[in-house]
Amino acid sequence: MNKRKHADLSVDFLGFKCENPFMLSSSPVAANYEMCSKFLEAGGGGVVFKTIGTYIPDECSPRFDHVRKEGQPFLGFKNMEQISDHPYEENMHFLRQLKKDYPTKCLIVSIMGSNEEDWTKLAKDVTEAGADIIECNFSCPQMTQENMGSDVGANIELIEKFTKATLAGTDVPIMLKMTPNIELMEVPATAAIKAGGHAIAAINTIKAITHIDLDQMTALPVVNGKSSVSGYSGAAAKPIALRFIANMKQDPFLKDIPISGIGGIETWEDCAEFISLGCTNLQFTTSVMQYGFRVVEDMISGLSIWMEEKGYKSIDDFCGKALNNIVPAEDLERDFKVYPKIDYDKCVGCGRCYISCFDGAHQAITWDAENRKVEIDEDKCVGCQLCLHVCPVADCITPGKVVFKPEDQFGLGSEAKYVEGGPNKRDIIVGQYDE
Amino acid sequence: MSENAKKDYLCEAVPPFTIATAMEEASRCLLCLDAPCSQDCPAGTNPGDFIRAIRFRNFKGAAEIIRTNNVLGGICARVCPYEVLCEEACSRTGIDKPIQIGRLQRFATDYEKASGFEPLEKVEATKEKVAMIGSGPASLTCGAELAQKGYAVTIFEEKAIPGGVLSYGVVPARLPQYIVDEEIELVKSLGVDIVCNTKIGKDKSIEDLKNDGYKAFFIGAGIQAPKMLNIPGTDLDGVTNAVEYLGSAKPSNGKIEPGSKVVVIGGGDVAMDCATTSRQIGSEKTMILYRRTREEAPAHKIEMSYVEELGVHMHYGFTPEEIVGKDGKVVAIKGKGFRDDSMIQLECDKVIFAIGQQPDDSVKSIADIKFSPKNTIVADEEEDCKTDVPYIFAGGDIVNGGKTVVQAVAVGKTAAESIEAYLSKEAK
Ligand SMILES: Cc1cc2nc3c(=O)[nH]c(=O)nc-3n(C[C@H](O)[C@H](O)[C@H](O)COP(=O)(O)OP(=O)(O)OC[C@H]3O[C@@H](n4cnc5c(N)ncnc54)[C@H](O)[C@@H]3O)c2cc1C
Ligand SMILES: Cc1cc2nc3c(=O)[nH]c(=O)nc-3n(C[C@H](O)[C@H](O)[C@H](O)COP(=O)(O)O)c2cc1C
Ligand code: SF4
Ligand code: SF4
Ligand code: SF4
């Protein structure tokens, strides 16, 4: 059968024409030839090879933990790994082989040194081995040595020094991978670009403690009775990544600097979100650790079908399109409220909206215990829509009537133009019982 | 399937998933390596992949996976005996219970419709003309596959509405007619022509079609003739059969004379469908007469319980002996013990034979090819659907003696491959 043709996903990243923006991020998922090759065969546009350093780290065991909520596993993932544990020469061999066998795929190589000589040597060697782009890892939060990892990402002086040292060893574009363990990423990113870097990769993992083992009284994972603060990734990281990226893309100095988006990417919708904030390259690890390289198949299919239907001919057509609509809180229009609307045909009478509105909002829902019927009291309702978020039935509570507040204190009427659309807009109700 | 059954004739028994409930179900899926569910779908619909697509919110991609593998995916989602196919193979059973694969498949194809997504691209017909005889699932699939390969396909159907058993056999509670109509429209939109009211072997012959330029033929004539018992009284007014009863109820939305006291003969799913239908469209009392025990009845037990819930009286262990008439009309049926000497007499005004179908002699007039003693066409439908005449292919119920819709879909795919191979060789 003939699938309909879908939109082209190819995109230019730092001068490299990638067939699509989907790449493994630097981590154990891209640690050797076989893994990278399997991912590229599954359709990936390229890989960011696991961070190569000048020494082999000594890893702990166990080294992972994950966070669940109710039944869902892997909301967030914690790891205590460091950089590549393959011998240097073996890594160079993997890189040469990858470039030879997959010349059209984008080979990005992550490196990390502890001093300027290291950075220059690493850059030189991986360039010779075939790297199309170098990613400087300024951001691993669990390095055991000084002046490495996220220590660098939070230190302007080191960023400048190591960026320059890297440039001294290579003629390929370089991208700086940032740590989220700071307040403003614009600052180190600007320093890195001013020092000669070409692009930003964000984010690396977030310093975290996922759980405490209440018997052993230490964090998870427990390494012989002890544990450490270390990097958190996966779905929980996405909102944090998106905000750093939006901030950088809205920064007057950084706005045209290419960004590779990382953090919790699992579905094509995640990809579309990062692109809408201006990313032209996308990397992921945790989703692959949970599900395997095949996640890329649905990214390719889902994104290209969606773009086709939206009429986007290329990634550039919607890249950064959401940026203008993300404004400072003080610029939001505040002169109307949107009441929730309850669809009583769908309501199952659970009363969750009542509970949340009473205990967590404005006591604006009434409860008829006899009939298990909820009703919104428009005099009290502030339109926060907490009820809509907690209702367990799809599309039962939706954004309803828009009401403009009375004239403001200066006696001015509203000039707001309300744009239709609510949080459930992408979800079309399907299925029917009968005709 | 009747877990949540409703008692209304036209009401689809199993409610659809919403996005939220589909996501919940897809999240239960283990996303297995070499997914066993995919391996056990006869038509290769690939549930392992489409459930994964749903899990990653690629709903349209899921529909695309289904349609590219099984053009009648929305129909199969409703009528397949998945509990003995994909769901039986499901690894999740090792934890609790299988993934509801059929319902997820239905979700994806419903989503496709609700969003107006069209996964398949029509291919210009530049190759030879090919005719399908019969418009059941075997021919619809074979026709769609061939049209997608660039052949000019026409389906000839003797009845006034296309679809075969889908349109006149499967009860609306399992398969509403609008779903059948929509999927037939989909097949047509791929370039397949459907000509109804044309019986091949009577209104037109294969020779005529050859003169019209058809280069290859697929016979998917199904089996329509009811099996009857050779007992006195079968010619009485009020005696009918499953195909006739269900087949007149469905197109008229249940507006037929249900019978007030109905006896259904048989113990298979079709017998249960007849009993359910008669109750839903207004019989006063419905009884089932089956010669073996409840345990031995081939019908799904869940269907039998549903029939029992509807108040149908089950009489096990009796074989019909005589239908008693008065003024040419049925008034009772007599039965005797199948394994003992018991006797039974049930008052009734309608008797429905639901003991299976068989090909009638008229199939032999379709083409001069080899038939088995049971009047089925001799062909290897698992392999290539070839008959003993090189340009004639056959599959589905008319070859296998009566299996399932998904088997007919599988065969339609095999036949299309085989016809393509034949025509490409001829063209050289
Ligand atoms: C009452 C009933 C309920 C069933 N329920 C289910 C179910 O729930 N799930 C399931 O999987 N299976 C079910 N089955 C079985 C399933 O329907 C069949 O296996 C399947 O339809 C076979 O498809 P087919 O294409 O071979 O033939 P059919 O569906 O029988 O279609 C054959 C078509 O060919 C036409 N035809 C015959 N001769 C000629 C001719 N000479 N010229 C032109 N046209 C001709 C016929 O009119 C008919 O429309 C059921 C069967 C019956 C009878
Ligand atoms: C086990 C593990 C090891 C990682 N190793 C590296 C590394 O060597 N170099 C690096 O730049 N980032 C490393 N990361 C961070 C990821 O590349 C990525 O930035 C982060 O996990 C967020 O993306 P995700 O949510 O898709 O996993 C690692 C992450 C994990 C989970
Ligand atoms: S919108 Fe907020 S205030 Fe209004 S009913 Fe819902 S939870 Fe209560
Ligand atoms: S939460 Fe939703 S389903 Fe429950 S009572 Fe409120 S509106 Fe009804
Ligand atoms: S066998 Fe069951 S659990 Fe495994 S992929 Fe198929 S549906 Fe999912």
Domain ranges within chain A, ordered by starting residue? 11-325, 333-434
Contact B64 A3 (CB under 8 A): yes
What CATH number is associated with residue B82?
1.10.1060.10
The arithmetic mean of pLDDT across residues A133-160, rounded, is: 91
Residues sharing a CB contact under 8 Å with residue B296, sequence separation 6 or more, in sequence order: B267
pLDDT interval class at A236 (50, 70, 90): very high
Last residue of a domain, one of B87, B115, B143: B115
Q: Output the six-digit token pair for B81.
A: 């005996």
DSSP B52: H
**What is the ipTM for the molecules in this complex?**
0.87
Q: Output the six-digit token pair for A15.
A: 């001068």
Is residue B328 in a domain?
Answer: yes
Do B331 and B364 lie in one domain? The reply is: no
Chain A residues at the B interface, defined by Cβ less than 8 Å, are 1-5, 71-72, 266-269, 291, 294-295, 298-299, 301-302, 305-306, 309, 392-395, 427-435
Report strand pairing: B285-290 vs B313-316: parallel
For residue A201, list its beta bridge partners. Answer: A177, A260
The arithmetic mean of pLDDT across residues A153-167, rounded, is: 95
pLDDT interval class at A418 (50, 70, 90): low
**How far from each other are the two terminal CA atoms of chain B, in whole angstroms?**
50
- Exposure string of A327-342, with b = 16+ CB inside 10 Å and e = fewer, is eeeeeeeeeebbbbeb
Domain count, chain B: 3
Is the CB of residue A278 less than 8 Å from the CB of residue A257?
Answer: no
- Please give the pLDDT value at position A147: 86
Mean residue pLDDT of chain A comes to 93
- Please give the pLDDT value at position B4: 40
- Exposure string of B200-211, with b = 16+ CB inside 10 Å and e = fewer, is bbeebebeebee
Do B77 and B101 lie in one domain? The reply is: yes
Q: Is the CB of A91 under 6 A from ligand 2?
A: no
Is residue B121 in a domain?
Answer: no
Do B111 and B157 lie in one domain? The reply is: no
Q: Output the six-digit token pair for B41.
A: 């779908």
- Please give the pLDDT value at position B10: 83
Q: CA B392, CA B130: separation in Å to the nearest integer?
A: 10
User: How many angstroms separate the CA of residue B114 from the nearest CA in chain A?
Assistant: 6
Interchain CB contacts (distance < 8 Å): A and B? 109
Q: Is the CB of A136 under 6 A from ligand 2?
A: no
Is the CB of residue B315 less than 8 Å from the CB of residue B344?
Answer: yes
Report strand pairing: B225-226 vs B357-358: antiparallel
What are the angstrom distances between the C-alpha of B44 and each of B139, B141, B417?
17, 13, 14
Is the CB of residue B164 less than 8 Å from the CB of residue B190?
Answer: no
Residue A168 has pLDDT above 90, yes or no: yes
Do B350 and B232 lie in one domain? The reply is: yes
Residue A107 has pLDDT above 80, yes or no: yes
Is residue B382 in a domain?
Answer: yes
Other CB atoms within 10 Å distance of the CB of residue B148: 21
Residue B343 belongs to domain spanning: 226-357
Residue A425 has pLDDT above 80, yes or no: no
Q: CA A24, CA A43: separation in Å to the nearest integer?
A: 11
Of the candidates A2, A305, A435, the beta carbon closest to that of B61 is on A305
The arithmetic mean of pLDDT across residues A81-105, rounded, is: 97
Q: CA B155, CA B345: separation in Å to the nearest integer?
A: 47
**Share of residues in chain A with pLDDT > 70 (%):** 93
- Please give the pLDDT value at position A404: 86
- Please give the pLDDT value at position A435: 30
For residue A12, list its beta bridge partners. Answer: A17
Is residue B250 in a domain?
Answer: yes
Is residue B166 in a domain?
Answer: yes
Last residue of a domain, one of B115, B143, B172: B115
Alpha helix stretches (DSSP H) within A42-141: 88-101, 116-129
- Please give the pLDDT value at position B255: 92
Q: How many helices (H) and strands (E) does chain B have?
A: 16, 15
Contact B12 A430 (CB under 8 A): no
The ligand 1 atom nearest the CA atom of B362: 41
Question: What CATH class does A11-325 carry?
Answer: alpha beta
Q: How many helices (H) and strands (E) does chain A have?
A: 12, 20
Q: Is the CB of B99 under 6 A from ligand 5?
A: yes
**Fold observed for domain A333-434:** Alpha-Beta Plaits (3.30.70)
**Distance in Å, CA B416 to ligand 1 centroid:** 18
**Distance in Å, CA A362 to ligand 3 centroid:** 6
- Please give the pLDDT value at position A426: 44
Among chain B residues, the shortest Cα distance to A6 is held by B119
Residue A279 has pLDDT above 50, yes or no: yes
* Residue range A108-139, pLDDT digits in tens: 999 999 999 999 999 999 999 999 999 999 99
Q: Is the CB of A393 under 6 A from ligand 4?
A: yes
Do B351 and B230 lie in one domain? The reply is: yes
- Please give the pLDDT value at position A407: 58
Is residue B11 in a domain?
Answer: yes
Do B348 and B384 lie in one domain? The reply is: no
Do B331 and B365 lie in one domain? The reply is: no
Contact B11 A427 (CB under 8 A): no
Give Rg (Cα) of chain B: 22
Do B353 and B363 lie in one domain? The reply is: no
- Please give the pLDDT value at position B133: 98
Interface probe, candidates A5, A310, A430, chain B, greatest B C-beta count within 10 A = A430
What CATH number is associated with residue B344?
3.50.50.60
Q: Helix axis angle, B101-115 relative to B47-55, nearest 10°? A: 60
**How far from each other are the two terminal CA atoms of chain A, in whole angstroms?**
30
Among chain B residues, the shortest Cα distance to A435 is held by B178
Do B165 and B96 lie in one domain? The reply is: no
Other CB atoms within 10 Å distance of the CB of residue B338: 14
Any catalytic annotation for residue A271?
no
Contact A2 B145 (CB under 8 A): no
Residues sharing a CB contact under 8 Å with residue A52, sequence separation 6 or more, in sequence order: A83, A84, A88, A91, A109, A110, A111, A112, A122, A126
Alpha helix stretches (DSSP H) within B214-369: 242-249, 269-280, 301-309
**What is the length of chain A?**
435
- Please give the pLDDT value at position A424: 43
Do B166 and B203 lie in one domain? The reply is: yes
For residue B270, list its beta bridge partners. Answer: none
Do B177 and B140 lie in one domain? The reply is: yes
Do B234 and B346 lie in one domain? The reply is: yes
Report strand pairing: A174-177 vs A199-202: parallel
- Please give the pLDDT value at position A30: 98
Last residue of a domain, one of B305, B334, B357: B357
By CB neighbour count within 10 A (0-12 exposed, 13-18 middle, 19+ buried), where does A70 fall? exposed
In order along its 428 residues, chain B shows pLDDT tens digits of: 344 444 688 888 888 999 999 999 999 999 999 999 999 999 999 999 999 999 999 999 999 999 999 999 999 999 999 989 999 999 999 999 999 999 999 999 999 999 999 999 999 999 999 999 999 999 999 999 999 999 999 999 999 999 999 999 999 989 999 999 999 999 999 999 999 999 999 999 999 999 999 999 999 999 989 999 999 999 999 999 999 999 999 989 999 999 999 999 999 999 999 999 999 999 999 999 999 999 999 998 888 998 999 999 999 999 999 999 999 999 999 999 999 999 999 999 999 999 999 998 889 999 999 999 999 999 999 999 999 999 999 999 999 999 999 999 999 999 999 999 999 998 88
